[in-house]
A = this chain, B = another copy of it.
Amino acid sequence: MKEFTRKLCEENSIVGLVPTMGALHQGHLSLIKQARQQCSSLVASIFVNPKQFSPSEDFARYPRTLPSDTEKLENAGVLCLFLPEAKDIYPQNFSTYVNVEGLSERLEGRSRPGHFRGVSTVVMKLLQIVQPQFAYFGRKDAQQAAIISRMAEDLNLDTEIVVCPIERETDGLAMSSRNVYLQTSDRQAATVLYRSLQAAQALLQNGSRDALSLHSAMERVLKEESRAKIDYVEIVDAQTFDPLMHINRKAYVLIATKIGETRLLDNLLVDFSDKGQLTTEL
């Protein structure tokens, strides 16, 4: 893999990397579409990274759909699929970890201890192996994207981290490989994440900047859905993920909720133009 991209680099190719865990959906394909606009050679990786799953999590049953993934990547114009094995990524005596401290312990990190340390370590390795000029991550996992961006800046990496919009089903459910876990009965209930974010968006568009008001409105929506068990609803600064009381800068409205046995994430991006004009992006 290293040799392959070194050659591409010598040919002055602009290399883009889309790192995935497979089970590809429209969200991944939108990353690839974005990458094609910036890069001349696209590499996608599929690696279900054991180090980002805790022992109680779904590593073994995480969806694996390699034949259809391969076809999707070929059709999307990906030049190279990097498909490493765990024994090559983590050989015997492997013991080096990259950790973005602070940011990795909150929210998702509190619910999933060690998760982000596994993510930042494997992404670091993938970036060193592929050495892309650009690497693409979905905004659905906003905290992950913030952690990877922070890591790239802190460790002086040459790769620019690009965070791409959330792709949604027609009823608003954010696309995720884990959506296949949703039982028929849960599938409708799962739209409650989107609907609660819409309630927050409406308040913002009506001029509210108060985190507590948004919080209350979202919880009202969520509590109407008996299958939903809230993990957290938080409004945070988009870089540091520090909680915000007053929303006056780039921020995320974050939600993590269990629907039946399936844990789902979603978020609303809030930003302000130079003139203070509000923008929101679901």
- A positions within 8 Å CB-CB of B: 2, 93-103, 120, 124-125, 128-129, 150-151, 154-158, 239-240
4 tightest Cβ-Cβ pairs between the two chains A and B: A96-B154, A128-B156, A96-B151, A95-B101
Closest B-chain residue to A117, C-beta based?
B99
Which of A96, A155, A156, A240 has the most C-beta atoms of chain B within 10 angstroms of its own C-beta? Answer: A96
Determine the chain B residues whose CB is within 8 A of the CB of A128 once the complex forms.
Answer: 155-158
Determine the chain B residues whose CB is within 8 A of the CB of A124 once the complex forms.
Answer: 155
Q: How far is the CB of A8 from chain B (nearest CB, A)?
A: 15
Copy number of this protein in the oligomer? Answer: 2
Determine the chain B residues whose CB is within 8 A of the CB of A154 once the complex forms.
Answer: 94-96, 125
Contact B125 A96 (CB under 8 A): no
Q: How far is the CB of A95 from chain B (nearest CB, A)?
A: 5
Which of A95, A103, A157, A240 has the most C-beta atoms of chain B within 10 angstroms of its own C-beta? Answer: A95
Tell me the bound Cα distance from A240 to B95 in angstroms: 10
Tell me the bound Cα distance from A69 to B102 in angstroms: 37
Determine the chain B residues whose CB is within 8 A of the CB of A96 once the complex forms.
Answer: 98-101, 120, 150-151, 154-155
Tell me the bound Cα distance from A156 to B93 in angstroms: 14
